[in-house]
Chain A
């Protein structure tokens, strides 16, 4: 076990105001069961799950209510015991609609029968991957990529490095920070399980240096682990937690354009996901809950709340005492990459890392100006893109040139738009360009 400072410096990046103090000291609080849980079938990246229950069915906690539709998909489980009240499309945090199952809790919170694997060390890695797939685990840090897919690299791509991402570089969010403080041992064991699955020699736990207590906690938890184990201290800065940037900071290798971390022999798992893997393997529990940071200056008592998947945003807010001031913007996730919400009738998913309320004075409503070529976006872009130029191409609907100058490599981190003095909608342009090009590609194929 060693603690080291990251040697490789990521390009660009920004230093937004972090405001982590609002919730960092708040221990994780369990929210009581709400009156309704609306569980979306689109919890993850990839194909939405197929519902396997009908209206009127009674379900137990952990029972499959949606099965994975294909390899890149993940199963969905009932977050508590109760009755299925409805099956209807509902809006998700991204604004898209997806089928959702409404469950009225019966208050018993009775689990289905669970198969535990306390002695996972003797279990076959393939079986462990199956457990991860069956328990519906997906990346809980951001995009929600199904974890079992990441854990089944093809044989020609051996994995030598497992990185546990505890950077939590998004401002305001403290859920991962709390997990590392309160569940360091379990995260360490989860990391050991994943490491075994992958056969990864190196284990790196990457944490930003603004969380010294989490660094200490993880160091203690990993003390007796054998082999090449490191707690990697990252300089605080956004986006240190972005997958490609984190891999570079940890091992100095760039994930090739269009490629995956496994192409450089690495897999990154978020600390929340790692804990879910531990819970799934050791306790046999499917993923039915997560910790969400409910925060922002207008919130009465900001905190880190463990709630069931499918909890209404409005219930989460009520649990935190409601708001004390005017709210201009509600964001699912963090301020840099999260999604603005126009309603609180949306429910949490496996990827809801935060629910952020912004006061009017924190929301700048600027009309965008023409680009003044200041070059700040260029300096800020961690992918070495020229956002100003790409944005102008997209505006001119010249998608070919945009593709040529690598719009598809954009990770939508938002650093460029954060810096732009002309307040140009750079990320909006990037997203527009990417989806346009991807659509064209699919059309060509199909």
Chain B
């Protein structure tokens, strides 16, 4: 037997006397955020492919802006820096992904300031913010700079399915809305080629939202890493599908088909990455389902009847505001307690 040094345990060495459990899964906030960043990489690559320099410019502006503002705020409040948890990086990327490619850099920075300083740190930092910071940043920009936020450059799409002219200078949803408002008819029929374009990302829109394929890939990664559960995205996307299918079935000449609604706008980005934001969405599985359904209904109501062509941001922010309510209403029945509906008192 190999000789091993035998030590006695010094009593002074046993300083860590904490409460049970003395084992941990090993997960921490930083790793979760890192996984979210990894999950956003495919969408970022697609954005670089279609929007080139603008995608890089905006992503870096927002990430640097968010991290810097986070650090400054923490410092001003005399707290530890708190940027190591990477949550500001995630907010930065998500904010950039929600911006149109042509927006000037300084506006992106303004958005970052609002996202971190106002929407997050004012409330006390990570864990305390009621609203998704990136979405607050986006909505502030949308209200302050409506023109810049809805200016979609006319460009030629070097799409993987052959060079397709970007016939439009608007997003698919914007086009539908304007056409319905002006002529009362749908702008185009939704054929397979368009569908494929929208699935891959060869379409107009915010830099991170265009490619459903890349976002779904990221979503699969998040599910595999247990960073999200399927409840929120599935119920969100499912509700949009059902809602739009009903509208389409009732009046196909004034409504786009459900697969258009699934691929258009920020639905995938919103359902997979924004509605699943842990801090601002419910903790119970039932609550996540309710949250998803609410987001889906609100998104479709805004798309159909609202003033804006797209409703994902507003829908999620509105649902954020009732998250505490949903949490309270969806507390599970505790083990050993009677089921509420069957009062079986003896």
Contact = CB atoms under 8 A, between A and B. Distances in A.
Interface of A: 11, 14, 16-17, 95, 171, 244, 248, 254-259, 300, 314, 317, 321-331, 335-345, 356-358, 363-366, 369-379, 382-386, 388-389, 405-406, 409, 412, 414, 417-419, 421-423, 425, 427-428, 431
Nearest to A431: B19
Interface in B10-52: 11, 13-29, 31-32
B81 interface: no
Given A171-B23, A330-B14, A386-B327, A259 B126 contact: no
A419 B27 contact: yes
Contact of B22 (A14, A326, A335, A389): A335
B13 A374 contact: no
B190 interface: no
**Most chain A beta carbons < 10 A, residue from B124, B126, B334:** B334
Nearest to B22: A335
Interface stretch (B105-113, B144-152, B279-287): B279-287
Interface of B: 4-9, 11, 13-29, 31-32, 85, 124-128, 229, 278-285, 288, 327, 331-337
Contacts of B281: 373
A369 B21 CA distance: 17
8 contacts: A337-B21, A372-B279, A373-B279, A374-B32, A376-B27, A378-B284, A385-B334, A421-B27
Contact of A372 (B9, B14, B278, B285): B278
**Most chain B beta carbons < 10 A, residue from A341, A378, A417, A425:** A378
A372 B282 contact: no
Given A323-B6, A412-B20, A417-B21, 18 more contacts: A11-B335, A17-B23, A254-B336, A324-B5, A328-B16, A337-B20, A340-B16, A341-B17, A343-B14, A344-B11, A372-B127, A372-B278, A373-B278, A373-B282, A374-B32, A384-B332, A385-B332, A423-B24
Interface of A is mostly: loop
A383 B337 CA distance: 10
A216 to B, nearest CB: 29
**Most chain A beta carbons < 10 A, residue from B14, B24, B31, B85:** B24
Given A386-B331, A409-B335, A364 B19 contact: no
Given A382-B335, A384-B333, A409-B335, A322 B8 contact: yes
**Most chain B beta carbons < 10 A, residue from A244, A314, A371, A428:** A371
Contacts of A382: 335
**Most chain A beta carbons < 10 A, residue from B9, B16, B229:** B9
A79 B23 CA distance: 33
Nearest to B128: A370
Contact of A371 (B22, B127, B285): B127
Given A342-B15, A343-B11, A386-B331, A375 B6 contact: no
A384 B334 contact: yes
A326 B24 CA distance: 20
A414 B14 CA distance: 21
Contact of B6 (A321, A327, A335, A377): A321
A373 B282 CA distance: 7
Contacts of A331: 22
A191 to B, nearest CB: 26
Nearest to A337: B20
Contacts of B4: 300, 324
Nearest to A367: B80
A378 B334 CA distance: 11
Contacts of A405: 331
Shortest beta-carbon contacts, A-B, top 7: A370-B127, A414-B21, A375-B283, A257-B336, A384-B332, A428-B19, A335-B23
B18 A340 contact: yes
A370 B128 CA distance: 8
B207 to A, nearest CB: 27
A358 to B, nearest CB: 7
A322 B6 contact: yes
Given A341-B14, A375-B278, A383-B334, A330 B9 contact: yes
Contacts of A314: 8-9
A277 to B, nearest CB: 28
Contact of A339 (B20, B28, B85): B20
A341 B20 CA distance: 11
Contacts of B333: 384
A262 to B, nearest CB: 14
Given A369-B127, A421-B27, A300 B6 contact: yes
A159 B25 CA distance: 39
A358 B127 CA distance: 32
A373 B126 CA distance: 10
Contact of B9 (A327, A369, A389): A327
A338 B22 CA distance: 8
Nearest to A321: B6
A254 B338 CA distance: 10
Nearest to B231: A375
A329 B126 contact: no
A320 to B, nearest CB: 11
Contacts of A356: 22
Contacts of A258: 336
A414 B20 CA distance: 7
Contacts of B26: 364
Contact of A421 (B17, B29, B229): B29
Nearest to B335: A383
A133 B128 CA distance: 53
Contacts of A377: 283
A398 to B, nearest CB: 14
A374 B283 contact: yes
B16 A409 contact: no
A374 B278 contact: yes
A379 B13 contact: no
Nearest to A341: B14
B35 to A, nearest CB: 11
A370 B129 CA distance: 11
Contacts of A255: 336
Nearest to B281: A373
B303 to A, nearest CB: 28
Contacts of B229: 375, 379
A422 B336 contact: no
**Most chain A beta carbons < 10 A, residue from B8, B14, B332, B336:** B336
A322 B7 contact: yes
A44 B327 CA distance: 39
A365 B16 contact: yes
Nearest to A343: B11
A86 B92 CA distance: 67
A393 to B, nearest CB: 12
A244 B29 contact: no
A372 B27 CA distance: 13
A375 B288 contact: yes
A352 to B, nearest CB: 15
B335 A370 contact: no
A336 B73 CA distance: 38
B125 A370 contact: yes
Contacts of B9: 314, 317, 322-323, 327, 330, 344, 357
